[in-house]
Structure 1
Amino acid sequence: MASATSVTSLADEVNCPICQGTLREPVTIDCGHNFCRCCLTRYCEIPGQEEPEESLTCPLCKEPFRPGSFRPNWQLANVVENIERLQLASLRGLGEEDACPEHGEKVYFFCEEDEVQLCVVCREAGAHGAHTVRFLEDAAGPYREQIQKCLTCLRKEREEIQEIQSRENKRIQVLLTQVATKRQQVISQFAHLSQFLAEQQSVLLAQLERLDGDILKQQEEFESLVTGEICRFSTLIEELEEKNERPARELLTDIRSTLIRCETRKCRKPEAVSPELGQRIRDFPQQALPLQQEMKIFLEKLCFELDYEPASIFLDPQTSHPKLLLSEDHKQARFSYKWQNSPDTPQRFDRITCVLAQSGFTGGRHTWVVNVDLAHGGSCTLGVVREDVRRKGELRLRPEEGIWVVRLAWGFVSALGSFPTRLVLEKQPRKVRVSLDYEVGWVTFSNAVTQEHIYTFTASFAEKVFPLFGLWGRGSSFSLSH
């Protein structure tokens, strides 16, 4: 039995050039080409043609032929029939047992127009007589090509999604690591604080205990002194009361010495709490100053470890556009329409008025603050760029070029993404904090005064990045701070 591939190749040789289907009632014209009788008949039917004997041209070679000259090709018809028989046998050999639900015959054909599968009985029925009917494998060929194209596109899109999944999973793992680190930092810092607080509590309570004992001791001494004084005064009072009750002769006996003894008696007015002890009590709150200082250090250290690390940024004069005037400490820049006499090095920007920081980052979490002072019509661009960013010629400020920046202009702020986005803010920022999380891929901008979030870019960093600063407009300037 012939193989399915060889049978298919033979079937391709007996296709009608007009309908591209298997020849039906093949006829031959003067030039020798073969066509389906019905296809050639329709080809010869020219609208408005009154002389049927007028010469036509072959659909393939364009040789003239007479409409009535085509002859039945019985030998070719037998070949077509044998080929179809071989194809049917080949399909049976493949074990495809799907039967036509209407006639119960095996399905071998496919109607292109109605997109239905047909058995032999269906094919010979009048409903599909004028349609393009192919064997299943022949009809499946073009669809297989379309499926292959779809598969190529879908696989490409799946790969892109898998890359996104991998990138985002890495970002999530970095964030989880950061959160775990922060958790340990919080636990460690609070454990240290708890130990310090316990120690300080013991110290302060011991001091209060000593104060309490000293107060009770002075209270005991005071009570003893006051009791003695009261006792002496009570004795004098009783003596005078008794003297006063005696007759005149007895009252006047030694009266002067008695009165002198009472009049010269000085009353001591003791204090329950000594001045020194009172000062110690008043000075006790000063003992809590180390606690206050430690709490301040604790909060600063905790916030430092949980937040971004302040970066020390200096402007790089080797990259500065000639219209930017840098301060001697490389912390400030001012725009000038007058070009500076700067050497044209490969590192220097020559079209966009920008400057880079002297140092870049290959990891970590960093933050810096930019004070912006814009004149009317001025603008300032802030963010980060890849180390290999183009320095010469026009440069489009967008992530695709390795640039993640926002632009502060007179009256509005824009994020320069793939398409610039104008941002709605409560207040035009004059002091902007730029924060970089290299591993996660975040470039965040916020108002350093109000802490209002401005914008966050998400990227995937694989090489060194540098802080970038752009400036435009006479009278506009910026300065750097932590």
Structure 2
Amino acid sequence: MDAVELARKLQEEATCSICLDYFTDPVMTSCGHNFCRECIRMTWEKAKGKKGKRRQKGSFPCPECREMSPQRNLRPNRLLTKVAEMARQHPGLQRRDLCPAHQEPLKLFCLEEQTPICVVCRESREHQSHRVLPVDEAVQEYKVKLEEDMKYFREEIEKTEKMQAKEEQSLVEWQDKAKERRERILVEFQKVVLFLVEEERRLLQTLKKEEEETVMRLQDSKASLDRQNHSLHSLLLQLEDRSREDPVQMLQDVKDTLARKSSLSVQYPKVDLPAALRTVCRVPGQIEVLKSFQEDVVPDPGSAYPYLLLYESRQRCYLSLPPDGGAPGGRERFVAYPCAVGQKSYAAGRHYWEVGMNLTGDALWALGVCRDNVSRRDRVPKSPENGFWVVQLCKGPKPAPPAAPAPVTLADPPSYVGVFLDFQAGEVSFYSAHDGAHLHTYSQAAFPGPLQPFFCLGAPKSGQMVISTVTMWVKG
């Protein structure tokens, strides 16, 4: 018997007939056959659930000879355990060197299937027409290919490692750049903070100087009036005392007494106070910050006063035309004033928009926000109590205030007004969009509900208002 046949026989003896692998913890049945302990247990467990012939209690058929064998008679086969371990470790008996189907040495290599085969496989129909090489020749041929592939992968590994080193260097450089930029941001913002602190100090000093100058003029005027009042009171007391004297005493020196009136120069100094403070609240860069919240506000044509024209410059068309029959339109339309509201309502967040104006004449305009449910058919004062947070705009002298609460009126409004709504803070602020000067702020604990941008124009031929790309004016 040659070595190959001996190896095949030894492998057969060390192989379990159930799992077809080397024995693991082999046991022997009463009939003399050997199996892995777990394999025979699983086989008998499966046999329990099958219907068929009656089995003796505790006995099961042998998978090899079908003879009944008591389960408790299983005996460990220590010798077979050693043989299986030797077969498992011996190089000549490794299962990868034998054909799984025929247990023959793998001496040939099929070029079509690219797999080792045995001589029995070579004669089979599956491989009979295939080209084959001896394993040794195939190994030499594929060693050359493997060397080429290994050379390729070594080169690619070298390239990858160089790229990794480059990326690591780029990472370090990028982090250094980010660190430098972070430090620069901190420095530049600190500069701005210092600049704002200095600008704040300068504005406060300017305001203080303006206040002190005006206060001094008012105090001088008040002191002069106090002195004049004291003199008048003194002369009045003297005249009252003289009027209570006897007639003869009263007439003595009456000429000098009466001359005091003509000699006294009564003056009423008038201090010309400016209509507003010269010092303007203007924070550098504030408009740029507010523009980060800027939105494209568009008036709602469905809410517009019937004779309020809305022209969309991008679409080159009118959004709202005056009705021919004079019908007021839907419930959402303003009929008491030439007004309109924005298409969006705001119930949270911060929002900023700008409105351009070309005012002519002396008509009053209004601009700001309003509740989404304000009265649109009745004339009501545009005040916070009625759901309006607006400023009035007019050219020329400020009109006399009405008896009812009225909004703040700007007698010389800028050509562009910025409106900033901070819903959570309960604030609506107005700014000159050109230079950032603060015009007015409404502040309260909270708004009662959603708000809409509000626009109100004056009479016909009083000018135009521009919101985003929409131009509004009242039809004459």
Q: TM-score range by the shorter chain?
A: 0.3 to 0.5
Q: TM-score, normalised by structure 2?
A: 0.34
Which structure shows the bigger proportion of residues in helix conformation? 1
